[in-house]
C-alpha cells in the first residue's frame, strides 16, 4: 500500500521569500503524485501533478515540484511567496487502484 509523509507540520515564511515543502512517498511502482492546497473551511484545489515524463512539473499560482525517484520525494517549491499562499498543503500519491493516499499536511503561515 502507498503512503505519504510530510515531515513539516508548520512552516512560517516571510512574504517574498522562497518556500519549499517536503513530501516523501512509499510505493513499490511508479507513483502518481499530486499537490493540493486547502484554504480554511474549503475543499482541496489541485496545484500540480506528476504522472510521467519530465520530473520538474509546473503548476498553478507559480508553484513547481520535482520528482526524485532515488529519494522517493516530490517537494513543492515557490520562488516568492505571497500573503495569499497562506493555507494548508497536502501531498498525495495515487496508484493503479485509483485511490489517493494523503499526507497529514503542512500549514504555511506568511508573515508581512
Partner 1 sequence: DAGVTQSPTHLIKTRGQQVTLRCSPKSGHDTVSWYQQALGQGPQFIFQYYEEEERQRGNFPDRFSGHQFPNYSSELNVNALLLGDSALYLCASSDRKFGQETQYFGPGTRLLVL
Residues that bind partner 1 (CB under 8 A): 4, 32, 34, 36, 41-46, 49, 51, 90, 92, 94, 96-105
Q: Which is nearer to partner 1, 26 or 42 (CB)?
A: 42
Rank residues 15 and 38 by Cβ distance to partner 1 and give the closer one. 38
Nearer to partner 1, 35 or 110 (CB): 35
CA distance 76 to 109: 15
Q: Which DSSP letter does residue 69 get?
A: G
Cβ 59 to partner 1 shortest distance, Å: 12
CA distances for 18 relative to 71, 87, 90, 99, 109, angstroms = 22, 15, 18, 32, 13
Amino acid at each position: 500500500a502507498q503512503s505519504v509523509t510530510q515531515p513539516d507540520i508548520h512552516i512560517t515564511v516571510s512574504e517574498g521569500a522562497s518556500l519549499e515543502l517536503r513530501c516523501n512517498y512509499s510505493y513499490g511502482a511508479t507513483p502518481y503524485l499530486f499537490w493540493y492546497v486547502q484554504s480554511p473551511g474549503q475543499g482541496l484545489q489541485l496545484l500540480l501533478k506528476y504522472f510521467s515524463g519530465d520530473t520538474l512539473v509546473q503548476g498553478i499560482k507559480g508553484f513547481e515540484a520535482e520528482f526524485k525517484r532515488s529519494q522517493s520525494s516530490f517537494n513543492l517549491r515557490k520562488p516568492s511567496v505571497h500573503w495569499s499562499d497562506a493555507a494548508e498543503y497536502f501531498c498525495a500519491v495515487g496508484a493503479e487502484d485509483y485511490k489517493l493516499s494523503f499526507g497529514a499536511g503542512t500549514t504555511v503561515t506568511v508573515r508581512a
